């Protein structure tokens, strides 16, 4: 992810150029600056359902259902129910587009379970080699020792490519991590995703889709640590020489979570990840919970020139997702047979309970730590205990 001030500079340059052309031609600035909107490919993947492979908006409302937001400019978006996996509405959900830092969700899905949160690592120059020019950074410095938990906070809150590269080094290096991420994407049936870098930095051929990014977010939110990191609005990060060793505060760049830069916090927001690069534009994956429902929204590259458009459109889609509860027929699903594991099967059977256990009650608070797998283990122990008692009783009766 490149720094957001690049977008501000881009808009300033665009405004000045458009104004100059308008003065010379007499046309409105918006007309002179207009460029053809990119169009989706003629054929797209049908993973998740045939409708999701069709171009344009896909929604199947019942009588009385709320209308979709009228002014959505994103090239691609999707609204889904995280618990059931049902896709409530989508636009070009399988369009393969640059993902920017939202690809860090796949990085976390892949690497987070492999590294203990309390493990420590002293950073070397080699760990930080290969970062793209202009990469966003949290402030990792060589010679400093960090915990894995510190580094994940740097990834999720500040989209730190420096933290990503250190974690990748701990995972066996960038090439090995990219290979593992691609394998994870395949296991989730995320066929639209091609991984070139672990941090989402613009590279030729690196693409994902709104559908795949929703898969990554849904899979990640089943991990209590993932949910805790992505829902943290602010945290302390270890300081280096520039801060004389003192820690400093880092705020989450997801404005719907942190409530900064003119964007109010969204009630019940869990997180997940935002991004921006020159090629990707603004990208955003968010999840929010009300009562026993968790709605996932992914928005890719709004074409509107309005400031904070990605957050405005995501907010409107979240509102619609909650309002459309029970009033639309699903147009697809995030549930894929290839991605079903014991945890996934349990989540499919009890989506509300699993979502409630993992998702935090508010931004910055930690989710519950009791997982469904633990519950299954407890149940298995109880059954085994009952069986032993029954055998003992039978033995006593037979004696």
Set 76, 80, 91, 104: catalytic member: 104
State whether residue 369 is helix, strand or coil.
coil
82 is catalytic: no
Set 159, 209, 231, 355: catalytic member: 159
273 is catalytic: no
Beta strands per DSSP E along the chain: 57-58, 60-61, 74-81, 86-91, 120-122, 145-147, 234-237, 248-251, 269-277, 281-290, 293-302, 328-329, 332-333
Q: CA–CA separation, 241 vs 235, rounded Å?
A: 19
Burial 332-350 (b: 16+ CB within 10 A, else e): bbbbbeebeeebbebbeee
Q: Give φ, ψ of 87 to 5 degrees.
A: -90, 115
Instruction: Decide: 388 and 115 in contact? Cβ < 8 Å.
Output: no
Please choose, from the candidates 218, 214, 174, 203, the residue with its C-alpha nearest in 3D space to the C-alpha of residue 280.
203
Set 45, 76, 80, 101: catalytic member: 101
Name the helix (H) or strand (E) containing 6: helix 5-25
The residues near 343 (Cβ < 8 Å, ≥ 6 apart) are 222, 371, 372, 373
Estimate the share of the chain in helix, then strand, then coil, as percent rounded to the nearest 5: 40, 20, 40
Supply the DSSP string of 252-285, one letter for each residue: -S-HHHH--TT-PPPTTEEEEEEEEETTTEEEEE
Say how far residue 242 (Cα) sits from the centre of its chain: 31
Q: CA–CA separation, 346 vs 340, rounded Å?
A: 9
208 is catalytic: no
What are the catalytic residues? 101, 104, 159
């Amino acid at each position: 992810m490149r720094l957001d001030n690049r977008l501000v500079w881009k808009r300033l340059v665009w405004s000045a150029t458009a104004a100059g052309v308008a003065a010379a031609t007499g046309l409105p600035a918006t007309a002179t600056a207009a460029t053809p909107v990119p169009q989706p490919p003629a054929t797209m993947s049908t993973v998740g359902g045939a409708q999701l492979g069709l171009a344009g908006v896909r929604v199947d409302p019942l009588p009385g259902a709320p209308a979709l937001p009228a002014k959505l400019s994103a090239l691609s978006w999707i609204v889904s129910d995280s618990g059931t996996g049902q896709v409530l509405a989508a636009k070009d959900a399988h369009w393969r587009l640059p993902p920017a830092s939202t690809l860090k969700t796949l990085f976390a899905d892949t690497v987070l379970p492999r590294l203990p949160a309390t493990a420590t690592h002293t950073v070397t120059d080699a760990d930080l080699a290969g970062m793209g020019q202009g990469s966003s950074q949290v402030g990792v410095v060589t010679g400093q020792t960090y915990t894995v938990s510190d580094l994940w906070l740097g990834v999720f809150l500040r989209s730190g490519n420096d933290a990503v590269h250190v974690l990748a080094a701990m995972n066996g290096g960038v090439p090995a991590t990219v290979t593992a991420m691609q394998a994870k994407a395949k296991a989730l049936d995320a066929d639209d995703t091609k991984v070139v870098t672990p941090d989402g930095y613009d590279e030729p051929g690196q693409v994902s889709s709104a559908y795949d990014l929703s898969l990554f977010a849904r899979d990640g939110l089943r991990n209590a640590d993932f949910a805790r990191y992505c829902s943290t609005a602010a945290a302390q990060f270890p300081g280096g020489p520039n801060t004389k060793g003192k820690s400093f505060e880092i705020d989450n760049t997801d404005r719907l979570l942190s409530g900064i830069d003119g964007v109010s916090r969204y009630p019940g927001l869990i997180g997940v990840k935002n991004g921006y690069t020159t090629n990707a534009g603004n990208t955003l994956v968010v999840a929010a919970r009300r009562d026993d429902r968790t709605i996932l929204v992914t928005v890719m590259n709004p074409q509107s020139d309005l400031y904070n458009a990605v957050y405005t459109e995501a907010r409107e889609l979240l509102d619609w997702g909650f309002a459309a509860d029970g009033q639309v027929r699903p147009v697809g699903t995030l549930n894929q047979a290839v991605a079903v594991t014991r945890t996934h099967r349990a989540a499919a059977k009890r989506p509300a309970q699993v979502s409630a256990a993992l998702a935090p009650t508010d931004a910055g608070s930690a989710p519950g730590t009791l997982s469904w797998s633990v519950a299954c283990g407890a149940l298995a122990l109880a059954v085994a205990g009952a069986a032993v008692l029954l055998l003992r009783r039978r033995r006593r009766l037979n004696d």
